[in-house]
Amino acid sequence: MIVAALAFYLFAFVTVASAVMVISARNPVHSVLFLILAFFNSAGLFVLLGAEFLAMILVVVYVGAVAVLFMFVVMMLDINFVALRQGFLQYLPIGALIGLILLVELLVVVGGWSLAPGASLSVVAPRPLPDQVTNTHALGELIYTHYVYLFQAAGVVLLVAMIGAIVLTHRRRDNVRKQDIGAQLRRSTSSVELRKVETGKGL
Amino acid sequence: MVEFLNDYLYPTLWIVAKIIAIVLPLMIAMAYLTYVERKVIGAIQMRRGPNVVGPFGLLQPLADGLKLFTKETIVPFGANRVVFIMAPCLTFILAMVAWAVIPFDEGMVLADINVGILYLFAISSLGVYGILMAGWASNSIYAFLGALRSAAQMVSYEVSMGFVIITVLLLAGSLNLTEIVLAQRKIWFVIPLLPMAVIFFISTLAETNRHPFDLPEAEAELVAGYNVEYSAMTFALFFLGEYMNMILMSGMTTVLFLGGWLPPFDVAPFNWIPGPVWLALKISAVLFVFLWVRASLPRYRYDQLMRLGWKVFLPVSLAAVVIVGGAVVAFDLRPGS
């Protein structure tokens, strides 16, 4: 038990510390690296909770894909750090407001956990029992049977967002030279001569 | 005190011993993979390959290691020191950490976790950070271009790799690597899923930045790509990390498609040979294909690489998920039900 507690405090401390570093680091690339560290330690917390599937998905999706894109963008940007700092006080009130709203919403979620009648029950007696099925089975059963329509709806929302992104950024360009692989493969071989080269001899 | 020893110290020591038992052979395999690569390519190009240091040149990896060890580590003036040093360490560590879940025989695995395949997938998707960090921290255009290429390439091929893994999971019915191997008792998955195995292998070539997809370090365009500015041990860590990743990816291919430690036929002369030997043999066979490909194929152009990943592999593997899923339901192949 002591080891688990120590691990929890380690992960929790590093998560919070790196989250602070994300917003206070001078260099945006360092910020992204600290963000990755925060993701990692959250995954560690998930593992401690016994939510191994979520932990791995967190690493695969957020660290392996989302943060790579962040890193990509941040590295490519030519940022003037001095100019970036100048508007800090000007934007502080609105930033603080957004932070406050997020904090309140988080508190509401935590409050809802204890206020809602069904929620506390499912904490005490979770259905499918965690010691009988693995994480992955339990999640699959919930998502694909009980909540299948909601799950599909979420998928459709993502699809619409994806199509929207493509429509917004796609523009037709003229005089683009494209390689037509099919045409190349259909080309007759008369312009090329195939020769069987004997081993050790050369042409 | 005795309780402390029994509860914490001895289990920890036992785990450390197991880790050493995995890491030590791996290190040797990695060192000799560099030697075998040079020998194989030499044979394909009708040269001798390394043959001066020791009998048949067998001590060449040691000599190379010693040389790299005694060289000076240079950190460029404009480099971001911490990230610059961290990048090769990260690459190497990630390549090692993944071995924790690879089963060498039934029950012979360091951590038999339920989501083993996801763990492997997660670790292999992290490999991109070592390269990105190296390219950025070097503060050099060549390194940066190499890193960007590598990142785009690895992210692209991971998508189809994920789908291929799903088709295997559909047949195996578990995310645990031991279970996946045991599900191949009747037939190795390479036979029903041959196209997927081919796609997976080509994707691992792209994931490890090996020929013909070694654009991140294309000598003709980028000098040495992301590791231009690295020297001595920092370079060695990158170099060995790449070879370690090759072994790991071959291990993954073996576990997913070639039946892991299982013998090809469960009859007398084959099942006398212990499982780890079979695993090593299969990994070596896959590694040989890695080297073979390197010696015989020219490098892809970057747009061809992206086309192959997004326009060929992604639709094919996505369709395969649907087809395999449909077949599993239609013919009631669901494992364990």
Angstrom distance (rounded) from CA B182 to CA B244: 25
- Please tell me the distance in Å from B67's CA to the nearest CA on chain A: 33
pLDDT at B164: 92
Residue in B45, B115, B155, B306 to test binding to A, most A beta-carbons within 10 Å? B115
Share of chain B above pLDDT 70, in %: 98
Interacting residues of A173 by C-beta distance below 8 A, sequence separation 6+: none
Residue B295's alpha-carbon distances to B15, B44, B99, B211, in angstroms, are 40, 7, 28, 8
Give the model confidence (pLDDT) of B147-176 as tens digits.
888 888 888 888 889 899 999 988 888 888
Residue in B80, B175, B178, B303 to test binding to A, most A beta-carbons within 10 Å? B175
Task: Tell me the one-letter amino acid at A4.
Answer: A
- CA-based nearest residue in chain B for residue A60: B122
First-to-last C-alpha distance (Å) of chain B: 48
Contact (CB<8Å) B114/A134: yes
pLDDT at A133: 72
Q: Which among B119, B148, B304 has the least Cβ separation from residue A56?
A: B119
Residue in B82, B94, B129 to test binding to A, most A beta-carbons within 10 Å? B129
Angstrom distance (rounded) from CA B132 to CA B121: 18
Angstrom distance (rounded) from CA B182 to CA B261: 9
Cβ contact B305:B214 at 8 Å: no
Residue B226's alpha-carbon distances to A141, B50, B60, B229, B263, in angstroms, are 44, 27, 26, 8, 40
Reported as a pLDDT band with limits 50, 70 and 90, residue B289 is very high
* Residue-by-residue DSSP string for B260-288: TT--SS-SHHHHTS-HHHHHHHHHHHHHH
Contact (CB<8Å) B115/A135: yes
Q: Which two tokens stand for residue B131?
A: 């390269």
- Please tell me the distance in Å from B301's CA to the nearest CA on chain A: 11
- CA-based nearest residue in chain B for residue A75: B136
- Please tell me the distance in Å from A188's CA to the nearest CA on chain B: 22
> In A, which residues are within 8 Å of B83 by CB distance?
29-30, 33
Give the model confidence (pLDDT) of B53-62 as tens digits.
878 888 888 8
Q: What mean pLDDT comes out for the span B272-291?
A: 88
> In A, which residues are within 8 Å of B175 by CB distance?
53, 134, 136
Contact (CB<8Å) A57/B118: yes
Segments of chain A scoring below 50 in pLDDT: none
Reported as a pLDDT band with limits 50, 70 and 90, residue B337 is very low
Q: What is the CA radius of gyration of chain A?
A: 26
Contact (CB<8Å) A71/B148: no
Contact (CB<8Å) B126/A59: yes
Answer whether B304 touches A (CB < 8 Å).
yes
Interacting residues of A31 by C-beta distance below 8 A, sequence separation 6+: A21, A22, A23, A25, A74
Q: Which two tokens stand for residue B292?
A: 């073979």
Contact (CB<8Å) B125/A181: no
What is the ipTM for the molecules in this complex? 0.81
Give the model confidence (pLDDT) of B65-113 as tens digits.
888 888 888 888 877 888 888 888 888 888 888 888 888 888 788 888 8
Answer whether B125 touches A (CB < 8 Å).
yes
Contact (CB<8Å) B114/A52: yes
Between A113 and B243, the more confident residue is B243
pLDDT at B174: 82
Contact (CB<8Å) B118/A53: yes
pLDDT at A84: 65
- CA-based nearest residue in chain B for residue A67: B129
pLDDT at B200: 92
pLDDT at B1: 66
- CA-based nearest residue in chain A for residue B115: A53
Cβ contact A55:A46 at 8 Å: yes
* Residue-by-residue DSSP string for B75-115: --TTS-HHHHHHHHHHHHHHHHHGGGG--SBTTB-S---TT
Q: Which among B125, B132, B148 has the least Cβ separation from residue A60?
A: B125
> In B, which residues are within 8 Å of A64 by CB distance?
122, 125-126, 128, 158
pTM score, two decimals? 0.84
Q: Which two tokens stand for residue B242?
A: 């790449």
